[in-house]
């Protein structure tokens, strides 16, 4: 399963009252024993080499391997440094990593509640259809609730119908209200260097 690029999905995790009441319950529930040989848990620094292998496999599957720049040192700093930039969960099966999830926190939005943004979800092909994907998503959801988050959002690679069916079984649904946009580095630089005074037709912002 993968969770990156193009068609948005979302789960409204809980109402404010229910979330507040549940935060303590979920705060320490981010370890799941799927079976004696498979555990889903928060990642550790020692997992970084195997995580890089899985991330590389995801990059190849989704077509951005040539742009992939994550190294062991960078992942250690960004996921396990003094100010961690993400939360990573892993599925360990028979002593090896079989999948992982990377989730970010968006501090607040319209309702002043933080959101969880699932950036990557990947299970190695040989380990799919065994419940690992749902277990990883369960840990993500519990982590999000422990942080008082109001929703979980992610993108699905266009055409990945297996991933869409998987997420829909969990309660996710496409966000038909919004269309995802992105701006590459070249256009970002061009915009930043503009004078900001172009008279654009139908400008709405």
Q: What is the DSSP string of 93-143?
A: ETTEEEEEEEEEEE---TTS--EEEEEEEEE-GGGTTSSHHHHHHHHHHHH
| All structural domains of the chain | 7-193 (3.40.630.30)
The pair phi, psi for residue 127, each rounded to 5°, is -110, 5
Range 72-79 average pLDDT: 96
Q: Are 72 and 47 in contact (CB under 8 A)?
A: no
Q: Virtual CA dihedral for 114, 88, 56, 75, nearest 10 degrees?
A: 90
106: tokens are 């968006």
Q: How confident is the model at residue 16 (pLDDT cuts 50, 70, 90)?
A: very low
CA 60/CA 151 separation, integer angstroms: 29
Residues with Cβ within 8 Å of residue 183, at least 6 apart in sequence? 191
Q: How confident is the model at residue 196 (pLDDT cuts 50, 70, 90)?
A: confident
Greater pLDDT, 61 or 200: 61
Helix (H) or strand (E) holding 38: strand 38-42
Range 171-177 average pLDDT: 92
């Amino acid at each position: 399963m993968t969770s990156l690029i193009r068609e948005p999905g979302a789960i409204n995790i809980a109402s404010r009252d229910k979330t507040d009441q549940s935060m303590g319950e979920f705060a320490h529930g981010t370890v799941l024993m799927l079976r004696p040989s498979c555990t889903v848990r928060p990642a550790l620094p020692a997992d970084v080499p195997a995580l890089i292998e899985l991330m590389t496999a995801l990059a190849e599957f989704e077509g951005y391997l040539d742009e992939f720049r994550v190294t062991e040192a960078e992942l250690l700093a960004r996921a396990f440094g003094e100010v961690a930039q993400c939360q990573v969960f892993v599925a360990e099966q028979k002593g090896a990593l079989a999948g992982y999830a990377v989730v970010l926190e968006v501090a607040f939005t319209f309702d002043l509640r933080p959101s969880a943004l699932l950036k990557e979800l990947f299970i190695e092909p040989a380990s799919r259809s065994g419940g690992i994907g749902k277990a990883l998503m369960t840990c993500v959801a519990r982590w999000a609730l422990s942080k008082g988050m109001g929703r979980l959002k992610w993108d699905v690679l266009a055409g990945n119908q297996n991933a869409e069916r998987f997420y829909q079984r969990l309660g996710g649904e496409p966000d038909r209200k919004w269309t995802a946009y992105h701006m590459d580095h070249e256009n970002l630089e061009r915009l930043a260097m503009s004078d900001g005074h172009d008279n654009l037709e139908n400008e709405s912002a």
